């Protein structure tokens, strides 16, 4: 018997839980949909969903368990909760930025934040960024911060070059 993850983030959708889970699984390596649960005749009126329609989708992204629920239009996503994607290099930043922003909104965000087509907020962050922002020379850290604040998608190569020039 496998151990259940202690905390599982839940995405609340009106009707697109399975579509969204499939989208996310297509973007991240080592990811899969584990189980789809459907509304039954009994209890279907709780969220106004028809018997047989998707109720929940259990899925994994890079080994992290998630659940998506078709719970109705009562709640919307906001930037108050976001998911950070740690990226080893600019190639990974570019990959996740391109895939997650497809059909979404990257224009209203800055500093590596974007909203996907379902309204979920993501932060696409290169692993090197904290090191550059904590540079031992304050002048360097401040210049990196100034540049980063002007970026939508973070360009870690550009920030690294700035840190090396000063």
pLDDT in tens, 3-52: 678 999 999 999 999 999 999 999 999 999 999 999 987 766 666 788 88
CA angle centred on 20, ends 36 and 121, rounded to 5°: 130
pLDDT in tens, 70-112: 999 999 999 999 999 999 999 999 999 999 999 998 676 788 9
Residue 44 confidence (pLDDT): 62
Residue 2 confidence (pLDDT): 60
Residue 19 confidence (pLDDT): 98
Q: Which two tokens stand for residue 116?
A: 């996907």
Asked if residue 162 has pLDDT above 90, the reply is no
Site of tokens 């599982």: 8
Q: Where are the alpha helices (DSSP H) in 11-137?
A: 17-27, 90-101, 129-133
Asked if residue 68 has pLDDT above 80, the reply is yes
Residue 23 confidence (pLDDT): 98
In the chain the domains, ranked by start, together with CATH numbers, are 10-70 (3.30.720.100), 82-165 (3.10.180.10)
Residue 91 confidence (pLDDT): 97
DSSP assignment, residue 150? T
pTM of the model: 0.89
Contacts of 9 (CB under 8 A, 6+ apart): 66, 67, 83
100 and 114 Cβ atoms separated by less than 8 Å: yes
Greater confidence (111 vs 125) lies with 125
Q: From CA 18, how far away is CA 25, in angstroms rounded?
A: 10
pLDDT band at 163 (very low <50, low <70, confident <90, very high): confident
């Amino acid at each position: 018997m496998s151990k259940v993850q202690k905390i599982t983030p839940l995405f609340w959708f009106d009707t697109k839980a399975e579509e969204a889970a499939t989208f996310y699984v297509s973007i991240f390596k080592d990811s899969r949909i584990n189980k789809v649960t459907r509304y039954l005749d009994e209890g279907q009126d709780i969220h106004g969903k028809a018997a047989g329609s998707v109720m929940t989708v259990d899925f994994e992204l890079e080994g992290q368990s998630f659940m998506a629920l078709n719970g109705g239009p009562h709640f919307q996503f906001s930037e108050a909760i976001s998911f950070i994607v740690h990226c080893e290099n600019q190639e990974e930043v570019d990959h996740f930025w391109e895939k997650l922003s497809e059909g979404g909104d990257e224009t209203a965000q800055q500093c590596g934040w974007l909203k996907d087509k379902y309204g979920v907020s993501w932060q696409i962050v290169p692993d090197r960024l904290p090191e550059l922002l904590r540079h031992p020379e304050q002048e360097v850290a401040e210049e990196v911060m100034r540049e980063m604040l002007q970026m939508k998608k973070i360009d870690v190569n550009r920030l690294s070059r700035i840190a090396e020039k000063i």
